[in-house]
Structure 1
Amino acid sequence: MGLWQGAGDALGYRAYTSILTATPTNPRWSVMNSAVGASPETLSEPQIAYGREFWLAYFAHTALIVCNSSLFRYFDFVSFLGGDEYDLGMITGFGMGGAVLARFAQGTLIDRVGPRVVWLGSLVLLIVALLGHFWVTTIDSPLIYGLRLCYMVGLAGAFGASITSISLKAPKGRGTELIGVLGSSGFIGLGIGPVLGDYIFAENTPLETKVHLMFLVAMTAGGVAFVLTLLATWKERPRPAGHHPSLVKLIRQYHPGWMLVMAFAMGMGVIFPQIFLRGYAKEVGIANIGSFFLVYAITAFTFRLMTRRLPEQIGVKKTATIGILTMAASLVMYMVVHNPWLLPIPAFLCGVAHALLFPAIIGGGSIAFPKKYRGTGTNLMLVLVDSGGLVGQPLIGAMIAGCRVLDWPAYPLTFISMGCFLSTIALLNQRFAKPIIAQEDELHEVEERSLCANENL
Structure 2
Amino acid sequence: MHWAYTSILTANAANPRWSVMNSAVIASDETSIEPQIAYGREFWLAYFAHTALIVCNSSLFRYFDFVSFLGGDEYDLGLITGFGMAGAVLARFAQGALIDRVGPRSVWLGSLILLIVALLGHFLVTTIHSPLIYGLRLCYMIGLAGAFGASITSISLKAPKGRSTELIGVLGSSGFIGLGIGPVLGDMIFSESTPVETKIHLMFLVALLAGGVAFVLTFFATWGERPRPTGHHPSLFRLIRQYHPGWMLVMAFAMGMGVVFPQIFLRGYAKEVGIANIGSFFLVYAITAFSFRLMTRKLPEQIGVKTAATIGILILATSLMFYLVVHNPWLLPIPAVLGGIAHALIFPAIIGGGSIAFPKKYRGTGTNLMLVLVDSGGLIGQPLIGAMIAGCRTVELPAYPVTFVSIGIILSTIALLNQRFAKPVIAQEDELHEVEERSMCVNENI
Instruction: Tell me the TM-score normalised to structure 2 length.
Output: 0.93
Shift of 1:96: 0.2
Structure-2 residue corresponding to 1:136: 125
Structure-2 residue corresponding to 1:117: 106
User: Following the alignment from structure 2 to structure 1, what is the Cα–Cα distance between the partners of residues 421 and 8?
Assistant: 34
Q: Please tell me whether residue 41 in structure 1 is matched to residue 55 in structure 2.
A: no
Q: Please tell me whether residue 229 in structure 1 is matched to residue 195 in structure 2.
A: no
Structure-2 residue corresponding to 1:9: none
After superposition, residues 15-414 of structure 1 pair within 5 angstroms as: 15=4, 30-31=21-22, 34=25, 40-43=30-33, 45-240=34-229, 242-414=231-403
User: Following the alignment from structure 1 to structure 2, what is the Cα–Cα distance between the partners of residues 409 and 114?
Assistant: 49
Shift of 1:235: 1.6
What SS class does the counterpart of residue 194 from structure 2 fall into? coil
User: Following the alignment from structure 1 to structure 2, what is the Cα–Cα distance between the partners of residues 17 and 427?
Assistant: 43
Distance 1:445 1:202, change over 3 A: same
Distance 1:348 1:13, change over 3 A: same
Q: Does structure 2 retain, via aligned residues, the 8 Å contact 1:263–1:381?
A: yes
Q: Does structure 2 retain, via aligned residues, the 8 Å contact 1:177–1:308?
A: yes
- Which amino acid letter does the alignment assign opposite residue 93 of structure 1? G
User: Following the alignment from structure 1 to structure 2, what is the Cα–Cα distance between the partners of residues 171 and 29?
Assistant: 30
Task: Give the number of equivalent residue pairs.
Answer: 430
Structure-2 residue corresponding to 1:455: none
Q: Does structure 2 retain, via aligned residues, the 8 Å contact 1:175–1:363?
A: yes
Shift of 1:242: 3.0
Distance 1:41 1:269, change over 3 A: same
For residues 380-422 of structure 1, give each alpha carbon's deviation from its aligned partner in whole angstroms, at most 9, with x where no partner exists: 0000000000000000000000000000000000000011000
For residues 35-92 of structure 1, give each alpha carbon's deviation from its aligned partner in whole angstroms, at most 9, with x where no partner exists: 9x9554323x111000000000000000000000000000000000000000000000
Q: Which runs of 5+ in 1 are unaligned?
A: 1-11, 21-26, 450-457
Structure-2 residue corresponding to 1:6: none
- Which amino acid letter does the alignment assign opposite residue 222 of structure 1? G
Q: Does structure 1 retain, via aligned residues, the 8 Å contact 2:166–2:297?
A: yes
Distance 1:236 1:202, change over 3 A: same
User: Following the alignment from structure 1 to structure 2, what is the Cα–Cα distance between the partners of residues 165 and 250?
Assistant: 19
- Which amino acid letter does the alignment assign opposite residue 194 of structure 1? P
Shift of 1:30: 4.9
Q: Does structure 2 retain, via aligned residues, the 8 Å contact 1:194–1:289?
A: yes
What SS class does the counterpart of residue 436 from structure 1 fall into? coil
Identity %: 84
Structure-1 residue corresponding to 2:444: none
Structure-2 residue corresponding to 1:453: none
What SS class does the counterpart of residue 243 from structure 1 fall into? coil
- Which amino acid letter does the alignment assign opposite residue 407 of structure 1? E
What SS class does the counterpart of residue 419 from structure 1 fall into? helix
- Which amino acid letter does the alignment assign opposite residue 340 of structure 2? G
Distance 1:402 1:227, change over 3 A: same
User: Following the alignment from structure 1 to structure 2, what is the Cα–Cα distance between the partners of residues 343 and 374?
Assistant: 38
Distance 1:430 1:148, change over 3 A: same
User: Following the alignment from structure 2 to structure 1, what is the Cα–Cα distance between the partners of residues 311 and 6?
Assistant: 34
RMSD of the TM alignment (CA)? 2.0
What SS class does the counterpart of residue 76 from structure 1 fall into? helix
For residues 155-185 of structure 1, give each alpha carbon's deviation from its aligned partner in whole angstroms, at most 9, with x where no partner exists: 0000000000000000001000000000000
- Which amino acid letter does the alignment assign opposite residue 228 of structure 1? L
- Which amino acid letter does the alignment assign opposite residue 444 of structure 1? H
Distance 1:138 1:46, change over 3 A: same
- Which amino acid letter does the alignment assign opposite residue 150 of structure 2? A
User: Following the alignment from structure 1 to structure 2, what is the Cα–Cα distance between the partners of residues 262 and 90?
Assistant: 24
Q: Does structure 2 retain, via aligned residues, the 8 Å contact 1:200–1:213?
A: yes
User: Following the alignment from structure 1 to structure 2, what is the Cα–Cα distance between the partners of residues 387 and 32?
Assistant: 49
Q: Does structure 1 retain, via aligned residues, the 8 Å contact 2:59–2:186?
A: yes
Q: Does structure 1 retain, via aligned residues, the 8 Å contact 2:29–2:435?
A: no
User: Following the alignment from structure 2 to structure 1, what is the Cα–Cα distance between the partners of residues 358 and 6?
Assistant: 21
For residues 202-244 of structure 1, give each alpha carbon's deviation from its aligned partner in whole angstroms, at most 9, with x where no partner exists: 0000000000110000000000000000010012024557321
Structure-1 residue corresponding to 2:441: none
What SS class does the counterpart of residue 288 from structure 1 fall into? coil
Shift of 1:32: 8.7
What SS class does the counterpart of residue 51 from structure 2 fall into? helix
- Which amino acid letter does the alignment assign opposite residue 220 of structure 2? L
Distance 1:263 1:340, change over 3 A: same
Q: Which runs of 5+ in 2 are unaligned?
A: 10-17, 439-446
